[in-house]
Structure 1
Amino acid sequence: MQIRFLFAVFCVFLLVSCAEKKAQELTPWGEPLEKDSIETNDNFTLSDIQASGEIIMLTMSGPDTYFDYHGQGMGTQFLLCERFAQYIGVSLRVEMCKSQQEMLKKLRNGDADIIACQMPKNEKGVIACGYGVDSLKTSWVVNANSRQLADSLNSWYKPALLASIRHEEQMRFTMQSVHRHTYAPMLNAKTGTISKYDYLFMRYAPMARWDWRLLAAQCYQESCFDPKAYSWAGARGLMQIMPATAAQLGLPEEKIYEPEENIYAAVRYIIKLNTKFQDVRDPRERQLFVLGSYNGGFFHIRDAMALAKKHGRNQYRWDDVAEFVLKLSSPQYYNDPVVKYGYMRGSETAGYVSRIRDRWAQYRGVARGSKTPMDFMPGVTPGGDIPHAAKRKHRFKL
């Protein structure tokens, strides 16, 4: 009987010991983990972000948050966040969301590091930090466990930074952001000579089935016929070719300022854009869509076409689509479900196409009196379109 009692006591003691051991956290090698050594779950700490070399920013489309502008990220809050990324020595990756709820879900899941968009300061599970608007009680936010990142943002951000960024944006949107000499839009009206590069426009425009005078009008809009023109965004030369575009087209960087190479590359790019608008059956209309894409980006133009269709307009007629290019600067439209690429500075693109059309009409009116190589080409329409049957001297690969 005594033996059974002792055995029962031993079993109870063993069970209690096992329960306590199970409740106690252990190290990977089975030893008790000291309470003071338990690390809190801090998601990706500032040190982790710096070690990875990248910080992930969540935002929504808008003129103050983020938008694509000639292949460059723009928006006050994006540029601010980019400055912070530079401050901590990492690159910035932007992920676009459609709503605050989507951003919060991704942040809480650890899919991003910061919401660089004005959010309510009293939102649960996040820490308000960095750039905020006191009157609206909003701010950037990070995950509630990312205290180190929040402290770094708070110590870095100063109101003077905001003023500096806004001044920088304003400079980029003015003509001062394009460095170029302004030459006359017509070299000699009596002889129909538009510029000293007319022979290049005549040589390469037929490849795109364009009137050479349309290419000349676009060139003047881009650079005022200055072969050394360059912009803050990196565009170079007569046709303002971006370095990334030049690389795609096989144009070496050291040749980007050469007039013939620059014009030839621009025509190849025009041809690529033309193939993206084969659903626009009218060649004259297609030229306008290509011009709009050259300036504002193909995807933004497609968004405007989707809006035109939704609102019962002709998505294959530029004048109808241009109306929605303009409206893509309004939240009602750039937040529409059919819009995939968000806000754009539509007035700039609509104006770009309009000015080129007007100058092209002027060039054709002046130059029509003098015979040019285009006037003697068989099968050329008044708009400069060349049928497939027309012979070409140039062959190239895109």
Structure 2
Amino acid sequence: MYKSFARDPRWWRIPLIILVLTLVPDLSWKSGDPLLKKIRTRDFLQVITRNTPTTYYQGRQGPTGFEFELVRRFADHLGVSLAIDTTESIDDVLTIVRQGDADLGAAALPMGPIPSGIHYSRPILELQPLVVYRRDLPPVRDPEDLIGRKVGVIRHSGASQALRELQRQLPELGWRESTGVEVADLLHMIENGELDAAVIYAHQFKLNRLFYPGVEDGFTLGESLSLVWAVPASEGLGLLREVNRFLDKLRRENILHDLVDRYFGHDDYLEYVGARLFIRHVQKRLPQYESAFKEAARRTGIDWKLLAALGYQESHWKPRATSPTGVRGLMMLTQPTAKQMGIKNRLDPLQSIDGGSRYLVSVKERLQPEIREPDRTWMALAAYNVGLGHLYDAQKIAEIRGGDPYSWADVRDSLPLLQKREWYSKGNYGYARGGEPVIYVRNIRRYYEILNYVSRSQQQFYQLNQRSPNAQEESQLFDIVPPVL
């Protein structure tokens, strides 16, 4: 087993540089640091990034992404507006920053030997290289399992450096690398047989694994790196100090931890068969009901994809579904709920979608006003499943345990306790199978994520059914790094 590999001897300079910059007094504002002064004069921060799920993309409510969220907060910290430009590769990002055409590069940049003309910020996020491979291959558990395989990697991503370090001990290892691909491209190529494996980062796989159920994680490769930001070295140290002060503040206040958890904290995922089945039903069943979900969204203000995810969790989009307890239809309404919503035929999919959507709204409206989004939506979904009374009891238990009754994370941890007498006896509504709404909400959120992914434009991400490059295109896309025998 290869647990660690030799590091570039220049890397010891990085923590020393950071320490020196920490100890030097911050006189940037008083001395009129040129770049900070320029940013304040023009009243906006110019950021260069890449269009990827972990950095920046256009979501359903506008720009989003982990690093976008951070740079937006940094612009607010400086008291200026934010201007975002995108480019294709890490090399391009560093070149643009070095030339002074951007104030800040925030694009999943790995800390490594510091390029000329660039300063790196403090570490923001740990980057652990991870080998992933096609699920129908023999398990890839050790570096030797990569020999003879078609392995892809993004050049200069840091993950490629891990392969170069491994090749020193495994000279027969070769791979393909390119600046013209992103993580989603590599995973798509693995799932469709164009590649056997790839080296990406663990958090990237966690974020994307829902959309590529045919890709499996193999083993971590080498030591972890750090995600950093880049600023131009030619403009003084003022902006670098301000970036580091900002990041330190986020870390002290646990804001950085919360953002990392929000974007990369999901440690559970749909098992392979379930994810594959869902994708097939998205292609075959959902088109019959998509317009009905969109109409319900117009009436209720709830994203149609969330309503569709709820419907799939309830019935797999089967309009005549019936449970042993008597709930029926695509949205699985009880008879009293259907009557309350004015639904005459629960087996009519249009009526069921309309009634279920309006019922979800009515549940949300009955929650305490202190509950903010997105927690309000997750609690409403839990109540759709287990009932408002049991949700209220779980909130009470959360408070007894010292948690926040208005936080989904704390209520989620308390719901399973409704199965234990010592806890459900403290509430008003008795026993409940409290573990079920936790799984229920988790699944809906995953289905919702997949639907959001599928609906993004082809210019941003590969679609799940998009054609892979042919052999000629692939040969032009990747540079081959051969074995060194």
* TM-score computed with the length of structure 1 as normaliser: 0.44
Q: Which structure carries more relative contact order (alpha carbon 8 Å, separation 6+)? A: 2
* TM-score computed with the length of structure 2 as normaliser: 0.36
Which structure has the greater CA radius of gyration?
A: 1
